[in-house]
Amino acid sequence: MKTITMLSITAAIGGMLLATGCASTQIYDPTQDRTGVRNSNTVSHEELREIARDAAQKVLKAPRFMEYIEKFRADNGRRPVLKLTHTINETNDPDLNVAVIDDILQEALFNSGLVDVTLAEGKGRTQSIADSRNIAYDDNFNQNTVAKKGTLVAANIVMRPKVVSNEVRDGRTKVVDRFFVIDIADIDKGSVVFKYSKPLGFIKTRGGVGW
C-alpha cells in the first residue's frame, strides 16, 4: 500500500514538473508582429497599435488635412499646433489605456514636420511647464532666461480619439466588435479637417465553462 502511495506521489510530482517545464517565454516585436490574441473584456494594445499605425498612414495622405496644413502655413508662416483631448471611452473597460493611439499618431504627425505638438494644454498638458515658469520669482535664476508671460502658443487643431465596443452572444458563440474613431478639428472654425474610422472584430466560441 505504501509503495502504491509513493508511486502515486512521485507520478504527481513528475507531472507537475513536466507541466512547469513546458512553460516558455517568446519574444516578439509589438511594432511588427501580430499575436492575434483578443480579450472580449478589454481592447488589447495590439488592436490599439494596429489602429494608430493605420490612422497615421491615412492622415499623412488625407487631401482635406493637407489642404488645411498648406493654407495655415500660407496664412501664418508656421506649422499649426496640435493638442489632444481626453479619449472618449465607450467600451466595457472603464480603465482602458489608449495612450498608445495618442503616442503613435502624435509621433507620426510631429516627425512628418506637418504640426507642432503642445504640452501646455489639452490631455497632454504637463505640470512641469507651469512649474518651470514659476522661477520668474526666484532670484537665483537669470531673469533674462526665464519664460515671460504671453509666450505660450495656443493650439490651432485638436485631436480626439474615440473607442466603442459591442458584443452579441448566440449560444456558445460571442461576436465582439470594436469601432475606432479619430477626429482632428480646426479650433478657430470648429470644422473637421480629418476623420478616421475603422472597425475591428472577432468571433469567440466557448469550448467549456466560461469565456
* Integer Cα distance of 132 and 24 in angstroms: 47
| CA 204 distance to own-chain centroid | 24
Domains and CATH numbers, the chain: 39-135+153-205 (3.40.50)
- Per-residue pLDDT at 75 exceeds 50: yes
Strands (E), the chain: 81-84, 88-90, 116-117, 157-170, 173-186, 192-205
* Cell output for 146: 526665464
By the 8 A CB rule, do 194 and 183 touch? yes
Its pTM stands at 0.73
Which residues are within 8 A (CB) of 210 and not within 5 positions of it... i.e. 6 or more apart? Answer: none
pLDDT of residue 79: 95
Give kind and range of the element (H or E) at residue 49.
helix 45-59
pLDDT in tens, 30-65: 666 667 777 777 888 888 888 988 998 999 999 999
Question: How far apart are the C-alpha atoms of 52 and 29, rounded to whole Å?
Answer: 16
